[in-house]
A = this chain, B = another copy of it.
Amino acid sequence: MPPDNTPLTRDRILAAAADVIRRFGPAKATVVDVARALGVSHAAVYRHVATKAELRDLVVGRWVETIMPPLRTIVAEPGPAAKRLRQLFDAMIAVKRRRATDDPELFAAYRTLAVDAQSVVVAHVDELVELTASVIRSGVEEGTFRTADPVSAARAVLVATSRFHHPAHAADWADPALDAAYADVWQLLMDGLRSSSESG
């Protein structure tokens, strides 16, 4: 790519990094390769992104952030908690499956990068727990759920649905039996939330 006159910003660097990863794989998420793609010097990129690790974390953060706005909207909207909880998980599972199915190589590339971007992944999971806990809390307020600890319950629902959204299971997401398994797991989890022993 020839140099152009657009000022170099962190956003342009991350867009270029995403393009490089798409075309050449996760090993190319380096300052050198991104600078080459932008037609600028390494030094110019380093002024915005100090290290390879920082570039990797920003790239993974950008990738996981793109799935969040619709999930935040579901949580912010009014409506019965059980219904919104299901919508939240349906939407999260659908977007992850779509990504894994539409472009398995790109999905695998980001998964490889994410293994080393643990602080970004932890922050992402923490937000998913917080969104889930927020819906469970409103279910407790409306009298649908009885859990005494919405955050622990939220973590449990996320972990218990790993088969349907954790990238480690992406290879199984085409299994036609998966929807029935999801229905069974969901039923059991909702029964659990509706009648938690924690609050008696």
A residues near B (Cβ < 8 Å) are 152-153, 155-157, 159-163, 166, 168-169, 181, 184-185, 187-198
Q: Which residues of B contact A155 (CB under 8 A)?
A: 181, 184
- How far is A163 from B157 in the complex, measured between Cα atoms in Å? 12
* Majority SS at the chain A contact face: helix
Additional A-B contacts beyond A168-B168, A187-B197 (18; CB < 8 A): A152-B184, A156-B181, A156-B184, A156-B185, A159-B181, A159-B184, A159-B185, A160-B163, A187-B198, A188-B192, A188-B193, A189-B189, A189-B192, A190-B197, A191-B195, A191-B197, A194-B195, A195-B195
Q: Which residues of B contact A187 (CB under 8 A)?
A: 156, 192, 196-198
Copies of this chain assembled into the complex: 2
- How far is A169 from B160 in the complex, measured between Cα atoms in Å? 13
Closest to A196 in B: B191
- How far is A169 from B166 in the complex, measured between Cα atoms in Å? 9
- How far is A198 from B183 in the complex, measured between Cα atoms in Å? 12
Q: Kindly provide the distance from the CB of A141 to the nearest chain B CB, expressed in whole angstroms.
A: 19
- How far is A188 from B152 in the complex, measured between Cα atoms in Å? 10
Closest to A149 in B: B184
Closest to A170 in B: B168
- How far is A2 from B153 in the complex, measured between Cα atoms in Å? 60
Of A156, A166, A194, most B-chain CB atoms within 10 Å: A156
Q: Kindly provide the distance from the CB of A79 to the nearest chain B CB, expressed in whole angstroms.
A: 20
Q: Kindly provide the distance from the CB of A186 to the nearest chain B CB, expressed in whole angstroms.
A: 8
- How far is A191 from B191 in the complex, measured between Cα atoms in Å? 7
- How far is A54 from B46 in the complex, measured between Cα atoms in Å? 56
- How far is A171 from B191 in the complex, measured between Cα atoms in Å? 31
Q: Which residues of B contact A161 (CB under 8 A)?
A: 160
Q: Given A157-B188, A195-B194, are A162 and B152 also a contact pair (CB < 8 Å)? A: no
- How far is A165 from B121 in the complex, measured between Cα atoms in Å? 21
- How far is A155 from B159 in the complex, measured between Cα atoms in Å? 16
